[in-house]
Amino acid sequence: MRVGFHAPDTVEELAYLVAEAADTRTPLEVMGRGTKREVGRPVQYGAVLSTESLVGVPLYEPSELVLVALAGTPLAQVEQLLAENDQELPFEPVDLGPVLGFGPGQATIGGVIATNLSGSRRILAGAARDHVLGVQAVNGRGETIRAGGRVMKNVTGYDLGRALAGSWGTLAVVTEMAIKVLPAQREVRTVLCFGLSDPTGVETLCLGFGTPFEVSGAVHVHAELAKRFSDEE
């Protein structure tokens, strides 16, 4: 297999490249736009396989709360489409691009699912993998596989969608995913408390979770870490 960067335009071409890599025993680094490449240990690879050219939303049914997107579709595009229908990704994926040296809005929906990237609402709504209804993927032999479906009641076969979510492309290359979406929150408030010690901060978080309000996320930032953020600003 030719070394370098590969961004196939079709699933068939991607499957061919994976099969070719398997035949030539060429290790692949699988990614979307690479916004999370700096996370974890460096990957030993002979070629890079990107899903960034697989872009589009083949199916979106707002009334059924189901969206099907190709892996390379920008996360910002998916969120904008949902916002136009007063819906959202309930697990609130975080845009880590600016933190890891990339510009905002460069993450892909495939990268979100492959890394199981979930935001603060995970404790209330669940992680990204909890909202994957079905996937299309290419396994290590270059075979295209499908698992799950496009409805919540689909229970046939193994739940490969959850297994692939968070696998960072090491089990298969996810090329398409069906995701359960939810109506957008109509009103959200953020409460900030400053100057709390670590014990008091943790106690305050516990008190917040004990209120009748739906607390979707809570964090106590250590004073030294908060100072670093303040200095950088």
Q: Supply the CATH number for residue 97's domain.
A: 3.30.465.10
CA–CA separation, 223 and 52 (whole Å): 39
Is pLDDT above 80 for 186? yes
* Cβ(68)–Cβ(58) below 8 Å: yes
**pLDDT attached to residue 231:** 56
Q: What is the mean pLDDT of the chain?
A: 89
- Identify the domain containing residue 39 by its residue range: 4-50
**pLDDT attached to residue 133:** 93
**pLDDT attached to residue 151:** 63
- Tens of pLDDT, residue by residue over 131-167, are 999 999 999 999 999 988 776 555 556 788 889 999 9
CA–CA separation, 185 and 157 (whole Å): 33
Residue 192 belongs to a domain? no
Could you give phi then psi for residue 125, rounded to 5 degrees? -105, -10
Residue 189 belongs to a domain? no
**pLDDT attached to residue 20:** 96
Residue 188 belongs to a domain? no
Residue 190 belongs to a domain? no
**pLDDT attached to residue 89:** 95
Residue 136 belongs to a domain? yes
User: Domain count of the chain?
Assistant: 3
Q: Is the same domain home to 66 and 134?
A: yes
Is pLDDT above 90 for 37? no
Half-sphere exposure of 78 (CA within 13 A, CB side): 34
DSSP string, 23-47: HHT--EEEESS-TTTTSSSPP--SE
Burial letters 37-68, b for 16+ CB under 10 A, else e: beeeeeeeeebbbbbbebbeeeebeeeebbbb
Q: Is the same domain home to 42 and 97?
A: no
**pLDDT attached to residue 164:** 94
**pLDDT attached to residue 79:** 95
- Tens of pLDDT, residue by residue over 81-102, are 999 999 999 999 988 888 788 8
CA–CA separation, 54 and 32 (whole Å): 9
Q: Is the same domain home to 78 and 146?
A: yes
Per cent of the chain over pLDDT 90 is 59
Q: Is the same domain home to 178 and 221?
A: no
Terminus-to-terminus CA distance in the chain, angstroms?
A: 46
Could you give phi then psi for residue 74, rounded to 5 degrees? -60, 140
Q: Is the same domain home to 82 and 168?
A: yes
Q: Is the same domain home to 30 and 97?
A: no
Q: Is the same domain home to 12 and 43?
A: yes
Q: Is the same domain home to 17 and 114?
A: no
Residue 32 belongs to a domain? yes
Mean pLDDT along residues 204-219 = 87
Residue 167 belongs to a domain? yes
**pLDDT attached to residue 119:** 85
Amino acid of residue 159: D
